[in-house]
Structure 1
Amino acid sequence: MTLHAGAPMPDSLRHFMRANHHPARSVPCPHCGATAHKPCRLRTSNRFLTQPHPQRVSAWARTVACCPTCQVTPEVPCHHDGRALPSGSVHAARYQEAETTAA
């Protein structure tokens, strides 16, 4: 259980409260610096976004899924001909694999 504002909340209840959020929120955002389980924000106006940044989604896919295209394990960046993809991006098949894993 997690204590928040003096009231204990069971982890199972916390999971269902986050169920409508994108699973990429489980990792920190490399773009805006939002911590895990917090929404992404605009760095200029500090407004919160409803969807995570693409960089956060890529980081999440890299963390949870193997890539069927380049045959790498989780945490290893995708590559093409031995060179990492630019800006930490991942193959489209890895996104699909991550979505399947999250479901």
Structure 2
Amino acid sequence: MTRHSGAPMPDSIRHFVRAGQHPARSVPCPHCGAAAHKPCVVPSRGVDLAQPHPQRISDWARATACCPQCQVEPTIACHDEGRARTTVHARRYQEAEEVAA
């Protein structure tokens, strides 16, 4: 269980409370610097965004799913014929979505 201000909340309940959020919010955002489980923001105005930045979604997919296209394990960057990619393959996003469901 995790303890915050107030009563402790079991992790099983915490999962359902966050169910409406994009699963990419489980990792920090490299673009705006938002902490894990916090929404992405527009840095110049401090406005919360409804969806995470694409870089955050890419980092989340890299951290949680294997890539069916280039056959790399979680946390390993996707590659095209030996050259590392800055983003992940589209099939890896699909795999991450399935893992999160």
State the alpha-carbon separation in 2 of the partners of residues 3 and 99 from structure 1.
28
- Per the normalisation by structure 2, the TM-score is 0.94
Amino acid at match of 2:27: V
Structure 2 unaligned blocks of 5 or more: none
Q: Tell me the secondary structure at the aligned position of residue 2 of structure 1.
A: coil
Q: CA RMSD in A?
A: 1.0
Q: Which residue in 1 is equivalent to 2:26?
A: 26
- Per the normalisation by structure 1, the TM-score is 0.92
Question: How much has 1:89 moved relative to structure 2?
Answer: 0.4
Structure 1 unaligned blocks of 5 or more: none
- 1:73 matched to 2:73? The reply is yes
% identity of equivalent residues: 67
State the alpha-carbon separation in 2 of the partners of residues 69 and 51 from structure 1.
26
Q: Tell me the secondary structure at the aligned position of residue 3 of structure 2.
A: strand
Structure 1 stretches of 4+ moved >3 Å: none
State the alpha-carbon separation in 1 of the partners of residues 17 and 11 from structure 2.
10
Task: Provide the aligned length of Structure 1 versus Structure 2.
Answer: 101
Q: Which residue in 2 is equivalent to 1:100?
A: 98
Cα deviation code 1:15-73 (max 9, x no counterpart): 11100100000111111111111110111101111110000000000001111111111
Amino acid at match of 1:38: K
